[in-house]
Amino acid sequence: MSIKFIEDSKIFKLDSKTSTYIFGVFEGNYLVHYYYGAPIPDTNVDELRVRPGFASFCPDSPSARVFNFSPDVTPLEYSTFGAGDFRLSAFAVKNSEGNKVTDLRYVSHKITKGKKALPGLPALYVNNEDESDTLEVVTEDKVTGAKVTLIYTVFNNYGAITRSVKVENASDKPFYIDTVHSLCVDMPGADYEMMDLYGRWVKERSLDRYPLHHGIQSIKSKRGSSSHNHNPFTALVSKGANEEYGECYGFNLVYSSNFSIDVEVDGFRSTRLVMGINPEGFSWYLAPGEEFYSPEAVMVYTNEGIGEMSRIFHRLYANNLIRGKWKKAKRPLLINNWEGTGMNFDHDKLVSFAKHAKDIGLEMLVMDDGWFGKRDHDNSSLGDWYVAEYKLQKGLSGLIKEVNDCDLKFGIWFEPEMISPDSDIYRAHPDWCLHTKGRDKSIARTQYVIDYSRKEVRDHIYSMMYDVLSNNNIDYVKWDFNRNLTEVSCAELPPEKQGEVFHRFVLGTYEIMDRLTTDFPHILLENCSGGGGRFDPGMLYYSPQIWTSDNTDPIERLTIQYGTSLCYPASTMGAHVSANRRTGYETKMNVALWGSFGYELDPDKLTPEEKAEIKDQIALYHKYYDVIHYGDLYRLITPFENEFHVAWEFVSEDKNEALVTVVEIKRVYDEFFMLRLKGLDPEKYYEIEETGDTFSGAYLMNAGLNLTHRPHGDGVSYRVHLISKD
């Protein structure tokens, strides 16, 4: 098994494909962390524990009075508040006496094959038990009766370990969970650089990288979603690490609401990272006998560079996070009407859309916002999920029939977590939106957030969605979420449970998404939140693709897609060709091919020349589908460090095919441009399809490909397609 318990030394050793993770039971039943890094065979690791234990004011432990041990400097496996460790706390409960002193100690453990699901939460899964092993370590705080199980799963085919926490109240009194992080990792030294993905609407997931410093560095959201602003991902990398070289520790939280990632460097230059639910605005009332599960955190380690870290995440998520029919099935090539029509459409317009879309080779029409209630602008009707027959004069079924007669599938847009003040549902149930008694209701984008912490609200919304989906031939749902949460309280919950509403809300969202994908397993669900405002692993568990950004400008998309690819596979990134953007259709296509490809324009307005060009693009989409969706990504030139060129490469799993894409952001005059490729088999010979030239993989990776005479100009792009001759 990949997990072992060494009885003599009381050491747990977890071995993934690229890493070893070691912790153990120390004097006083403290859980102490020893090592996380490249694989090692050793189990005699006590020297890795030793820190300066007699610094000023560092408390000793009455139950572990041994040389060189203090809770404040020892690398503890799961840190707690108030019992001698003054660094970042991973866990704390507020007990019936009103204080938050918490002290967890080891009780027992078990090791099993496979992996259990997390109740009510998205999480990675195994296709068969041999893919993973799981360790459950039971700890307890004897004073509060908090029984905390630390859950670790090693994925045997990847350099990945997942972690989550189960909290039980084993006492006869209630307590509050104040802080519950999903992981805590202590690392020796502080010679790391921290990478994170920040942004805003239409500029999501830009890359930031900076050295760790003494003190605390944090990435957080308290918006009720993972957000455009910060992604629940970070990496600690060795100084100078690049795509091919260096140590990389990647961390990602499978969660779509308020999160917190905190990294502390202490006075001894030791580093601690905790990740989990943001404690700000959170508390959970746990009555005797009740349980609580934290969201799952994913840890990836490699010493082969940032690119390999990304590829481990990509393979893991493609095989063990994304589920259902669309995990492997080829997804339909769609056109969305939003940028073509906005809400200004009717039956005849959409049928014309469909006919022209079919003529150029598209496979699905998606009807976006504006089909329901009295929705002619964005200030009404959210929550009124019934057909606006003044627009769709033959009803939804009549429209779908005519679209299907064009041999196109049909998709539809919903925003199920929102409610308009000008809507029938709000007039009937004004208390159903999130609100706080005595305070104004904040409004954003002329809409409120409906209270998904309430079962009757969720059931009502889902019954309307079910009506639409069960009575019509619909193959795709775009699920949107277009504002953040304010006045977060619930009229149905008692005061002691008001700190639960953020978490209950996202659990409600997960429940409805689960019901939808269970009741309609054939439907392709795409998540959206003003573009990429909820691009996180929690959403990917239900929707295998996410609309990456509302910004479809191909040059702007370069940084957005590059940043997203740091953790998330190409198959998950919704990427469309749109009209009215700088650059020609060639570059629009080349950039959009790096993802789940589609179109966002009005086909009625295309010239014959543009239609012919798009037909050619569609043929290329089918040609390159497998290498993009199932191949490995190699980032060659990053837009965050180069203002002239951007380049990336997909290589098939068998290394028999590669697709290289280059975009010239700004024209470079008289440049000698050699591009070294990656990921090829050095022993194989590859033919460049466009020129017929043949080179060895070793030549292409070490000497490079001479692109000096390729096209030049602002926004110009091109592809290089390689096929193995062996």
Is 514 labeled as catalytic in the residue annotation? no
376 classed as catalytic: no
Q: Which amino acid is at 157?
A: N
Q: What are the structure tokens assigned to 410, written together?
A: 């049909």
DSSP string, 265-280: E-TTS-EEEEEEE-ST
422, HSE (Cβ side, Cα atoms, 13 Å):
10
Q: Which of 368, 384, 451, 480 is catalytic?
A: 480
Pairing of strands 694-696, 685-688: antiparallel
State the catalytic residue, choosing from 186, 550, 602, 632: 550
- Kindly list the distances between the CA atom of residue 705 and the CA atoms of 209, 677, 684, 714, 721, in Å, as whole numbers in the listed order: 30, 7, 16, 21, 12
Residues whose CB is less than 8 angstroms from the CB of residue 537 and which lie 6 or more positions away in sequence, other chains included: 122, 232, 252, 253, 254, 255, 298, 317, 321
Degrees to nearest 5, angle at CA 203 with 202 and 207:
160
Beta strands in 258-372 (DSSP E): 259-265, 271-277, 284-286, 291-293, 296-302, 334-336, 364-367
- Residue 219 neighbours by CB distance under 10 Å: 21
Convert 23-48 into a string of H (helix), E (strand) and C (coil).
Answer: EEECHHHCEEEEEEECCCCCCCCHHH
In the block, residue with structure tokens 């961390």: 251
Tell me phi and psi for residue 715, to 5 degrees: 80, 10
Q: Return the sign of the alpha-carbon dihedral for residues 606, 609, 612, 616.
A: negative
Would you say 260 and 220 are in contact if contact means Cβ atoms under 8 Å apart? yes
Rounded-to-integer distance, Cα 479 and Cα 412, Å: 9
Q: CB within 8 A of 571, min separation 6: which ones?
A: 318, 322, 544, 545, 595, 596, 628, 629, 630
| Residue in this structure with the two tokens 């030294």, named with its chain if needed | 189
Question: CA-to-CA distance for 393 and 409, rounded, in angstroms?
Answer: 20
320: left (phi over 0), alpha (psi -120 to 50) or beta: alpha
Which residue in this structure is represented by tokens 């977890």?
14
Tell me the three state secondary structure of residue 524.
strand
SS3 368: coil
Residues annotated catalytic, as ranges: 480, 550
